[in-house]
Amino acid sequence: MFFKITLIFIFLFQISCANKNEKSYQDLYALRILLETATKAKPNPQAACIDAMRSEEACIATASDVLAGTLTETNLSLTLSTGKFTTYSDLCANNLYMYPLPTNYVTNNSDAIRECFFKCDSSYWKTRKNLNICSGTSTVMLSGIGNDSGTSNCRRNCFSSTNNTP
């Protein structure tokens, strides 16, 4: 936090000096980029993954083959990790929640891209829930995200918006 505040003061000082010394446009641009980079929030794919998992759970809980109130974080985590993990935190930390993408595809990308992917997934599940289209069996719903063109486009846009940088 101190570092960010210091950068802001330096930036403001540079602007005031720029008016007096007539700094070049390139210098001001470089300072602006530096300030944007310093104040940009660090990507948090773990938090985005957990949010996506909770959104998925809320939708799948309404599936015709799921008894009301029986779907829990533990049940879904165990199912998606084939019995290895009982929490979304553990599931996400081990990159197992990226259906239908293979694990190596996820680990080879930056935190910014992984966070973006999870936000795409979360958006898919929240939209379905908000539109009351969380229907069918849990298997059909789980396979739906892999076939959804909106989610695929969202993920594709993650590369262009982040340029695969942290």
Q: Is the pLDDT of residue 166 over 50?
A: no
Q: Is the pLDDT of residue 24 over 50?
A: yes
59 shares a domain with 28: no
Q: Give the structural domain span for 138.
A: 45-162
Higher pLDDT, 70 or 9: 70
CB-based burial label for 166 (10 Å; 0-12, 13-18, 19+): exposed
Q: For the whole model, what pTM was predicted?
A: 0.69
The rounded distance, in Å, linking the Cα atoms of 88 and 118 is 13
Largest Cα separation within the chain, whole Å, is 71
131 shares a domain with 95: yes
83 shares a domain with 65: yes
91 shares a domain with 75: yes
Check residue 52 and give its pLDDT. 93
User: How confident is residue 67, by pLDDT bands cut at 50, 70 and 90?
Assistant: confident
135 shares a domain with 75: yes
123 shares a domain with 51: yes
The rounded distance, in Å, linking the Cα atoms of 114 and 154 is 12
